[in-house]
Amino acid sequence: MSNGDPTYDESRIADRLDEQRAATEQRIAEMRAGFDGMVAASEGSNADDEHDPEGATIAFERSQLGALIDQAELQLREIAHAAQKISDGKYGVCESCGAQIAPARLDARPIARTCINCATKR
């Protein structure tokens, strides 16, 4: 371990991105399976969503799950973006102001696109 070294280990970050990507892909696959199951269940019951309280609940749960899948897919794109920046040699540079992103921030949030100053400005 390098003492007080203000840089970070890009290969370690890349490994973590790979792990996150695998975990996120797995989660999306699981959620998709659950989503399809829900759709099949609601179609199978031939429920009238407007008048059947259970049908309305299923519709709500389905939309919640759909939102979670969207979120996970966005996360996946951010991970791919960060991985691309590593291969381009641009990783750790704020996309907004061009400053070096603090290593502690990258450590906590490897997919961060901007420095903490720009992130809190929005």
Residues that bind Zn ion (CB under 5 A): 94, 96-97, 99, 114-115, 118
Identify which of residues 84 and 100 has a Cβ nearer to Zn ion in the complex: 100
* Least distance from Zn ion to the Cβ atom of residue 48, Å: 52
Coil, helix or strand at residue 100: strand
Contacts (Cβ under 8 Å, ≥6 apart) of 28: 69, 72, 73, 76
Distance CA 67, CA 98 (A): 32
Identify which of residues 62 and 113 has a Cβ nearer to Zn ion in the complex: 113
* Least distance from Zn ion to the Cβ atom of residue 44, Å: 51
Identify which of residues 28 and 115 has a Cβ nearer to Zn ion in the complex: 115
Distance CA 113, CA 75 (A): 12
**114: which 2 tokens?**
């901007």
* Least distance from Zn ion to the Cβ atom of residue 98, Å: 7
